[in-house]
Amino acid sequence: MTARKALLLIPSLLMALCSATPTVAVDALYTQTAQVTLPSTDTWWDYIKMQPGSSHLFMARVDDGLTVFDVDTNKLVTTIDNSIGANGPLLLPEYGRGYVAMTDGSLLIVDLETLKPLKRLPLADDGGLNSAIYDPVTKRVYAITSTRKEQATWFALDAATGKFLWKKSFPFRKMDDAATDGKGTLFAPARYDNIIMKLKSDTLEEFDRWTVSCNVKKVYYQAHTNRVFGACSGDKPTFFVLDADTGREIANIKIGKGIDAMVIDEKRHRILASNDDGSLNVIGQNGADDFKMLGTIYTSVGSRMMHIDQRTGRLFVVNAGLTITPPDQETGEAGEVYHPNSFTVTTYTPQ
């Protein structure tokens, strides 16, 4: 064969090699299927929550109040009256009520059928409330303070009536949402102290604690595996799994920076974490002890808040346009300005 003929055969050989090389199928996991922009002002936001069994997404938009959005029609339903300062909604359809932690230290009680406020109950007089949780054993709501200099305080209320019962303080600057096992134990994280406490749900008495290797911010209890899922912010962003009886670590997976929401999709055996760096991590679960990173959905920087529609598996991520200015020469603090009418609700649909 001459050199010229050999050269002429090269393209054919390359095509044959390419066609013989197997292609790797990549699962998109989720795709963006909708995005809606809502009226907004220069304000931040915090928790967003789906009302169980409903199409209503409740979004705590602080100075823009508590906004209700219909995820099936992609339309704004209403902004709850007297809800300026909304920070963390807890939705309890079994009582027809929503309990909303407010930045002025009060707890707003909302009728979930009429979407009207029932009462705004003053609780904390030294700062805002961060969130509220529900314990099905005691049928109580526990409202928890936001970051403090020295101690966090929990306020106990009757879930059916909203009646204040008592309060208890802990020597920690910040305690995020606790997870209940439904049998009388709460798994309560103390973020800056790197611990998870086990509390009796009726008295909040501590009877055990575990040290973790990072600033634990999110916890979730999975009953059918008896596992505690946790996620950390700070300089060691991590998802981890613990044995709920012993605290033994079972899994540890690196995630994006700045986690602010973690949800579980039991149907698809997935754990999802949304982060301030613009990443949405998808972790797969195979039984009680097998966890692995399936992939990362890239959203946009600042998309830290997310929730799931358990009816469909759709994810909803919120964000808004933001300008950050250089640090002030005297205070050292950078300025932040949120762009007007730029607040978005983005839908990601599982594939």
Residue 333 has pLDDT above 60, yes or no: yes
- Spatial contact of 63 and 43, defined as CB atoms under 8 Å apart: yes
Is residue 29 one of the residues assigned to a domain?
no
Give 26's pLDDT tier (boundaries 50, 70, 90): confident
Three-state secondary-structure class, residue 161: coil
- pLDDT, residue 329, reads 86
Tell me which of 335 and 191 has the higher pLDDT. Answer: 191
Which letter does DSSP use for residue 91 in this model? E
- Spatial contact of 256 and 262, defined as CB atoms under 8 Å apart: no
Q: Which domain holds residue 251?
A: 45-324
Q: Rounded distance, CA 30 to CA 208, Å?
A: 39
pLDDT digits (tens, 9 = 90+) for 124-173: 999 999 999 999 999 999 999 999 999 999 999 999 999 999 999 999 99
**How many structural domains is the chain composed of?**
1
Is residue 30 one of the residues assigned to a domain?
no
- Spatial contact of 236 and 215, defined as CB atoms under 8 Å apart: yes
Taking residues 78-82, report their average pLDDT: 98
Q: Comparing C-alpha atoms, which of 174, 175, 157, 178 is closest to residue 166? A: 157
Q: Comparing C-alpha atoms, which of 123, 122, 155 is closest to residue 141? A: 155
In DSSP notation, 184-202 reads SEEEEEEGGGTEEEEEETT
- pLDDT, residue 76, reads 98
- pLDDT, residue 215, reads 96
Is residue 337 one of the residues assigned to a domain?
no
The burial of 217, by beta-carbon neighbours within 10 Å (0-12 exposed, 13-18 middle, 19 or more buried), is given as buried
Q: Comparing C-alpha atoms, which of 326, 327, 321 is closest to residue 339? A: 321
Give 330's pLDDT tier (boundaries 50, 70, 90): confident
Which tokens in the block code for residue 79? 């902004």
Torsions phi, psi for 9 (to 5 deg) = -80, -15
Is residue 10 one of the residues assigned to a domain?
no
Pairing of strands 322-325, 315-319: unpaired
Residue 191 has pLDDT above 60, yes or no: yes
Is residue 63 one of the residues assigned to a domain?
yes
Is residue 6 one of the residues assigned to a domain?
no
Residue 212 has pLDDT above 80, yes or no: yes
| Least confident residue range of 21-35, 95-109, 248-262, 290-304 | 21-35
| Least confident residue range of 25-29, 50-54, 124-128, 195-199 | 25-29
Q: Which residue type, as a one-letter code, is found at position 93?
A: P
Give 14's pLDDT tier (boundaries 50, 70, 90): very low
Which tokens in the block code for residue 305? 């808040």
Neighbours of 181 (CB within 10 A): 19
| Element spanning 281, H or E | strand 279-285
- pLDDT, residue 3, reads 42
Residue 256 has pLDDT above 60, yes or no: yes
Residue 18 has pLDDT above 90, yes or no: no
Is residue 277 one of the residues assigned to a domain?
yes
- Spatial contact of 99 and 144, defined as CB atoms under 8 Å apart: no
Is residue 338 one of the residues assigned to a domain?
no
Q: Comparing C-alpha atoms, which of 94, 213, 109 is closest to residue 157? A: 109
Q: Rounded distance, CA 261 to CA 274, Å?
A: 5
CATH of the domain at 260: 2.130.10.10
Neighbours of 330 (CB within 10 A): 6
Residue 326 has pLDDT above 50, yes or no: yes
Straight-line distance from the first to the last Cα atom of the chain, in angstroms, rounded to the nearest whole number: 52
